[in-house]
Structure 1
Amino acid sequence: TETKASVGFKAGVKDYKLTYYTPEYETKDTDILAAFRVTPQPGVPPEEAGAAVAAESSTGTWTTVWT
């Protein structure tokens, strides 16, 4: 059964790089840049490992969100 809440969302694991990897992004003068050294586990693409670090570094992981 498809509910209104489930429309547009499919359960499952999505690659971090689908959200946090944007190679064509051009930095702005107001951006803050940080460098991380990442060693992916065997079988994990470098883009995916880097995007996972970006996901954990985003404000969404440590900011309380009220709805």
Structure 2
Amino acid sequence: MAKHINLNDPEIMTAKDAALRWGKAPDYVRQVLRSNPDRFPEGSVRLFGRQLIVTREGMEVVTGHGEK
């Protein structure tokens, strides 16, 4: 059976929301992903159409700290 993913989970957010929650510029995730995609742990960031989705784990690894 496939694993169920709850898209209402606050651990999953848009890149813009994540950047604002971590006190970064709105395009922070997109810039980091473009310049150094290996900084994100596998499966912590994904592009759906034109929307980037990122996990809390991904943001904590990339920024080096938790949410502000």
Scaled by the length of structure 2, the TM-score of the pair is 0.27
Scaled by the length of structure 1, the TM-score of the pair is 0.28
Higher relative contact order (CA 8 A, sep 6+): 1
* Larger strand fraction of residues: 2
